[in-house]
Structure 1
Amino acid sequence: MTDIRVVIADDHPVYCDGLAEAVAARAGLDLVGTARDGRVALEMVRELVPDVAVLDVKMPHASGLDVAITIARDGLATRTLLLSAVDDPKVIVDAVAAGVGGYVIKDASRGDICDAIVAVAEGRVVLAPEAQTAVAAGLRAHGDAGHGRLTDREREILQMTAEGLSAARIGDALFLSPATVKTHLRSIYEKLGVSERAAAVAVAMRRGIVE
């Protein structure tokens, strides 16, 4: 059986090195690289195509969530496991909505994190108890993610957002004020059960709402 190839990205040297040692020592896991910021992590994932990328939520240049969303959006084969020092409900809900494979609090044991890497590589979703609570709360707050259908205008704005247009440029194209566009975007986020545009685009692409 081929070892699971792993990249770790964390800007805390001591923590990153300790986790890297644990992964390298774990039978069945193959550490292929480490990074200290999100931009380098994404470049490493594109170059090495690991089975799992372990990403700290808070990193310079690009957050772990941003990297995970980009990996999903671009259809890369790498699965993602987020690490966080705190259980931020908004980040957790956005991460799950965007298809992240797992979310683990950083004070978990190295063994538990290695177990989570294996589970994510096998296609399972791993959520720390704190993350499960946050997801449940998020679902209660937003209701079923399909509770509100996007209007034709919202779909149009979401498609243009996915193409990288700013609110101002979308407004110019549709003869709407930027404030009106932002109001539509807030409605879109609520209906998709997310809190920011990158997660909204990732969820919409996974559901086939946008291309």
Structure 2
Amino acid sequence: MTTPRDLVFVALDAAAGRPPAQGDLSLALAGAELIDLLRAQAVRLDEDLVVPGYRPMIADPLLDQAASSLVRQEPYESVDDWLWRRGRGLAAAYLTALEADGQLVRHRRHRMPFAAGERVPADTPARRDAADRWASHEPVLTVLGVAAGIDDTRGAEEPSVADDAVATVLAAVHDAVRELEAVRQRRAIEDAAFDNIWRGVG
């Protein structure tokens, strides 16, 4: 399995507590894809620019799609630009792909027998491998999970990552998630102010 798919499994298993926001998870998934592409030598970083390498054969369709979408002409894309472009709607794309592969099942509630229900991980080797990776505090998955808001308790003991390029991507994911949260807060303030204006008019 890939790092993005492992991250989705971890997020879904944690969803019974406090599920991560789709936007945060999508940004983290885009970072996970870039890290897997770095490891496959499909890309390298020139400071913060994503420079395509050779085009490997990639079995996972979404990760292959990510490799195909790389900007291959100068000026290359920055890591930050990659996260925002590639991350758009990425969590939903992974949920759909995992369900199509039989890795997710629809959980029906007893009182709603005909409702489609929420998607939960099936008991598969892929899910168990992801859970083992998470339980072992594997550094990359842990940092991505913290950034996505899957487990805030791990933040204080977030592990360091030796690979400079991977560390650059992880730092960019954290920055992007913080930026997204700032946008949410601004919108909430603007919406509240707008509501107050209409209350005054009424």
Where on the TM-score scale, by shorter chain, does this alignment land: which range? under 0.3
TM-score, scaled relative to structure 1: 0.23
- Greater helix content: 2
* TM-score using structure 2 length: 0.24
Higher relative contact order (CA 8 A, sep 6+): 2
